[in-house]
Amino acid sequence: MKIQVNGLKRNMVLLAFGILPITLLAQQPKIANFRAYDKTGINQFETGKADSVSFDGLKVRWGAGFTQQFQNLKHENNGAVGSTTTNRLYPLQNGFMTAQANLFMDVQLADGIKLNVTSYLSARHHNETWVKGGYIQFDKVPFKGQFWSDLMKIATIKIGHFEVNYGDQHFRRTDGGQALYNPFMDNHIMDQFATEIGGEVYLQKNGLFGMIGLTNGMIKGHIDSTYVTASDANTARNPSFYFKGGIDKQINNDVRVRLTGSLYTNSSQAGSGLTLYGGDRTGSNYQNVMEKAPVGAALPAYTAAAFSGRFNPGFSKKVTAFMLNGFVKVKGLEFFGTFESASGRNKNEADNRKATQTAIEGVYRFGKDENIFVGARYNEVKARLTGFTNDVKVNRTSLAAGWFLTKNVLLKAEIVDQKYLDFPTSDYRATGKFNGYVIEAIVGF
């Protein structure tokens, strides 16, 4: 009898954690103008105007992204790891990172009107739950008249606290537990990502599109007072303006071409509120590489050293950034390129500094339904940091491969080599580098 009971319990567990989620997934409602969180969402950028989902009442769709990672990376600089110098690096061993998880809620509120709320359940920077943001998107409006009907055939309106649409790289980046869109382990070295409060208006027709956005320029709302610094008497909190335009054409069944240009600018954000290159609340997927471990002090916590391997130019008071992106897909072969130029400063500086970034990646997808891929990326940043007299460089070479076991399950691996060049000898990053491999398992639905 005991064996039968244990067998019954085992079958119930299998039912609860195996068959039931599959059944729920199969019953997910369809949301109009929706980017899927599984393999079918890859290489999708802005949502289009195709309206293939009829509205028959309010619908709620739940989704998630889960990522587990194993890392084997080594790093070094001009102060040896474990030494007694002030430039010693965090001691590393291979091992697993804490799993990351995202939760998505998409709601079809009315015909052509949808709501999204995204939460970080667990991430490198915050192990506790945080809300990334939420927005409402209008592809139709509840106003009568031919004018509104004709306008909304080409227009989209987005309002809320959301991921700003500056450049195209943010559509391909890893975002906490949602790592399925990215063929590589981490994002650009100078990671262009921010969530801000505001609105965007799109016009798109026949593959051509344009967008204008206006936000508060900060990762969250602020009503507190600001103060004058010795270098800057301007205490204004100005909004951020950004623009984007381009072409995205499916030339034939085998060829797709996309070219876009983006501009983001904010003339003054008192209190160092700008986070265009530091707005990620999840962290990088290279854990504790090139992180300083001060002599006589405790090692930095994982959450405190969350952005390992990235480079923030520190344009927190003022910034103007331009990005040009190109994407070409020919059957299973795709190329994605980025050129970016930015200038700005923090509140304690009088003069602007500059930073440029280039990245080129090639990915080849093959096998049944392109479920296997290999890829290579080269990424380089050149910038002047606060207090530095010369520009510094950081470059990264990545080789990656992945296998979609299903459209919801991905296993990928990457070999990476990153170097830090032209840093002053007194800086802990001087002659720094890290290399090794990382393996990642992802579920997205």
Q: CB atoms < 10 A from the CB of 130, how many? A: 17
Work out the pLDDT band at 2, boundaries 50, 70, 90: very low
pLDDT of residue 262: 98
Q: How far is CA 35 from CA 31, 38, 40, 108, 116, in A?
A: 9, 9, 8, 13, 11
Q: What is the pTM of this model?
A: 0.89
pLDDT at residue 6 in the model: 46
- Rounded CA gap, 148 and 140, in Å? 8
Question: CA of 362: how far to CAs of 365, 377, 394, 416, in Å?
Answer: 10, 7, 20, 15
Q: Which CATH number fits domain 58-444: 2.160.10.10, 2.40.160.10, 3.30.930.10, 1.10.560.10?
A: 2.40.160.10
Residues above pLDDT 90, as percent of the chain: 73
Query: Taking the mean position of all CA atoms in its chain, how far away is CA 317?
Result: 22
Q: 357-383 b/e with 16+ CB inside 10 Å = b?
A: bbbebbbbbeeeebbebebbbebbbbb
Per residue in 155-203, pLDDT tens? 999 999 999 999 999 999 999 999 999 999 999 999 999 999 999 999 9
The pLDDT of 394-407, averaged and rounded, is 98
- Mean pLDDT for the stretch of residues 224-229: 70
Extract the tokens encoding 5.
């009971």
What pLDDT digit, counting tens, does each position of 274-288 carry?
Answer: 899 999 989 999 999
Per-residue pLDDT, 8: 44
Q: How many CB atoms lie within 10 A of CB 421?
A: 16
Whole-number mean pLDDT of the chain? 89
C-alpha of 54 from chain center: 31
- Residue 41 contacts residue 35 (beta carbons within 8 Å): yes
The phi and psi torsions of 65 (rounded to 5 degrees) equal -135, 125
| Helix or strand run (H / E) with residue 151 | helix 146-151
Mean pLDDT of 321-337: 98
Domain boundaries, the chain: 58-444
Q: What's CA 47's distance to the chain center, in Å?
A: 17
Total count of residues recorded for the chain:
445
Closest-CA residue to 213 (of 157, 138, 171):
157
Cβ atoms < 10 Å from Cβ of 185: 24
pLDDT at 124 over 50: yes
Radius of gyration of the chain (CA): 23
